[in-house]
Amino acid sequence: MPLMPAGTGEVDRAMRRAGNVLQADRVILPQTRQRRDCLLTAFDSWLAANWRTTLVELVDGRSINFEDVSEAVVAYGKDMYQSGKSYGRFSETINALTTRRPALRRNLGAAWDLAFNWLIDEPHEHHAALPVTILLACVALGLLWGWLREAAVLALAWTGVLRIGEVFSAKRSDLVLPQDAAPGVWFAVLKIRLPKTRGRAARHQSSRIDPADIVELLTIAFARLTPDEPLWPWAPATMRRRFAQLQSALGVVRIDGSEIYNLSSLRPGGATYWLQCTEDAEYVRRKGRWISSKVFGDLLARGCSCHLYRSIVFRDTKPN
């Protein structure tokens, strides 16, 4: 018989939890879970065609042969490599398998060794850090063209060291401007919806925006929105296209005409700028909400090797 709630407190909690089904795995987004299910389906089809078995028979049995599973995953990875598949599909397939059967986490070392060799053969290309000079030029040109939302989104993501997806998912109610706060508050705060590290770090995270001129720009762009209105109401592809158009108009392009920076350049660009201004790695790590110094170390190396920015700073960091 199922347990019955005892007391009014348990009855209230049981009513709130009605219809919710907990998953006995790590906290991931529904989109990530759906993508991993598709990868497991592809792996299952490959097993049926090449190993004459199924995913259920391989990993879902009571007694599992870890060597057979590791050998199958390695063979699948080699086949993916030869067929031109991306590294991310293979690594996410391994993560999907370990999520489905947690006992596999300590027994897929050979598969991860193959993945690391894959990375060495095809090194990952980091996103170029957007310098402050290019940011100010894009913001100024966007305002000149009447693209107020575009300029505000670029300034918000860069200054707050935000992932661009965090800005796209934000609503007006998540942005706390000085006029929304107590008297004497001169900075803005953006509350993060579904932080990437919520399963390992704080569940509730926020980013602080300090420069006074950026706060003024955010106030002009977003203050009159309704609480449920998104800060960026259009598709992300629209923002990517317009950011590319701004760079093209400024002449910030490669020889072949492609843009040098993309929306993923905003976060490392802002972090590199604050690192050069403060020379305080711990401050920048906390501002960017990196979970540890080890995760942040790669950005530190790129920031130190990045070309020095011109001495253009924001007008004020505090009101007079």
In the CATH scheme, what is the homologous superfamily, with its name and number, of domain 132-305? Intergrase catalytic core (1.10.443.10)
Q: What are the C-alpha distances in Å from 182 to residues 176, 177, 204, 207?
A: 10, 10, 21, 18
Res 63: pLDDT: 82
Res 204: pLDDT: 87
Res 296: pLDDT: 72
The answer on pLDDT for 97 being more than 90 is yes
**How do the domains of the chain map onto residue ranges?**
27-121, 132-305
Res 26: pLDDT: 63
Res 301: pLDDT: 56
pLDDT in tens, 236-279: 999 999 999 999 999 998 888 788 899 999 999 999 999 889 98
pLDDT in tens, 128-187: 889 999 999 999 999 999 999 999 999 999 999 999 999 999 999 999 999 999 999 999
Structure confidence at residue 313 as a pLDDT band (50, 70, 90): very low
Res 137: pLDDT: 96
The answer on pLDDT for 320 being more than 60 is no
Res 298: pLDDT: 62
Model pTM score: 0.73
The answer on pLDDT for 226 being more than 80 is yes
Give the residue-averaged pLDDT of 17-37.
76
Residue 128: which region, alpha, beta or left (left: phi > 0; alpha: psi -120 to 50)? beta
C-alpha 81: how far from chain center: 26
More confident residue, 85 or 127: 85
